[in-house]
Amino acid sequence: MRYTTIGSDPATARTVSALALGAMRFGTTTDEATSYAILDRFVEAGGSFIDTSNNYAYWVNGTQGGESEALLGRWRRSRGVTDEVVIATKVGGRPTKPATRLADHAEGLAPAVLREQADRSRERLGVDRIDLYYAHIPDMWHGTPLADTVAGFGELVADGTVGLLGLSNFWAWQLERARRLADASGAARADVFQYQHSYLRMRTDIPDPRFGQDGEFGTADGSILSYVRAEAGTTLVAYSPLLGGAYARQDKPLDEAFDHRGTTNRLAALDAVARETGATRNQVVLAWMIGGELPAVPLAGFSSLAQLDEALAAVDLDLTDDQRRRLDEAH
């Protein structure tokens, strides 16, 4: 396993595995026995970075979420896992009543919500402190001022409820504004940013297929990548790096957002490198992300040990400078 550091303050920074395990479906569509087996294998291989949310996975059974956190809490207790495994969770996207879609019922990011949901997440996870706490999505429902949200997160860090902060799916201007507000007030700022990111690039001139929003909302477009590159001590965590199986499975077609010439050219380059290395498409994608000029931490979920083992093997795959150049230049 390879490792990286998240957090810019040496006093609170954490060393985590270069591959993060997504637990979104654990406890719902991935049963408990399979979830435990995947978690066990991941940790045995040196994995130490697990991701969940307070709303996972409400849409499966029409709940408010929390099933994934609760399963992780049971697993931690059964295995005696302590702080050697960093668990990240999120707040802001939990429905305020049982639902299968958010509609107008998302909890938002008011300070009182942050505090209440941090306590509930800690209870489900069985931890005293949340290692990494993300704002899941911008507060598009309640209009909470960003300054209030920043202050609320800062208080959670100051009193030890939370270790590190993150922002997920925010517009680039919101990242900058939130961090500058934190700096101005002396509060802890977010150093970890979670976005959809993969080798293939989405179009940003059509509504985002995942959120129904214009353009790059939720996607690590050029503005997000350039921001991470410019801001020392920040980390990009990339969710859906394998595009839900679309790189490998014919029954998982790419979304229309990938229907452009660049996709064809990039897939050709990807296949060429896969042949040269003897690796799978998925493994080349993960290796490209982990070892890139702007490294990202791929955050991938798995429903079987075979899928996890394929990804673990990618961590040690070294691409040559020429292979990286050809992958980067395909467009």
- In the chain, the number of structural domains is 1
> In this predicted structure, what is the pLDDT of residue 76?
98
Using CA atoms, how far residue 22 sits from 30, 39, 168, 184, 269, in Å, is 12, 10, 14, 34, 27
Provide the pLDDT for residue 282: 98
Q: What's the confidence (pLDDT) of residue 218?
A: 82
Q: What 8-state DSSP symbol labels residue 142? A: S
b/e code 191-219 from CB counts within 10 Å (16+ = b): bbbbbbbbbbbbbeeeebeeeebeebbbb
Q: Which pLDDT does position 103 carry in this prediction? A: 75
pLDDT tens for the 331 residues of the chain, in order = 999 999 999 999 999 999 999 999 999 999 999 999 999 999 999 999 999 999 999 999 999 999 999 999 999 999 999 999 999 999 999 999 999 988 778 999 999 999 999 999 999 999 999 999 999 999 988 999 999 999 999 999 999 999 999 999 999 999 999 999 999 999 999 999 999 999 999 987 776 655 555 444 588 889 999 999 999 999 999 999 999 999 999 888 898 889 999 999 999 999 999 999 999 999 999 999 999 999 999 999 999 999 999 999 999 999 999 999 999 999 9
* CATH number of the domain residue 308 falls in: 3.20.20.100
Range of the domain at 204: 3-329
Contact 288/321 with Cβ under 8 angstroms?
A: no
Q: How far apart are alpha carbons 146 and 110 in whole angstroms?
A: 9
DSSP for 236-275 reads: EEEESTTGGGTTT-TTSPPPGGG-SHHHHHHHHHHHHHHH
Beta bridge partners of 238: 195, 298
Predicted confidence at residue 102, as pLDDT, reads: 84
238, burial (CB in 10 Å: exposed 0-12, middle 13-18, buried 19+)? buried
Kindly list the catalytic residues: 56
**How many angstroms separate the Cα of 323 from the Cα of each of 97, 155, 288, 320, 329?**
50, 46, 9, 5, 10
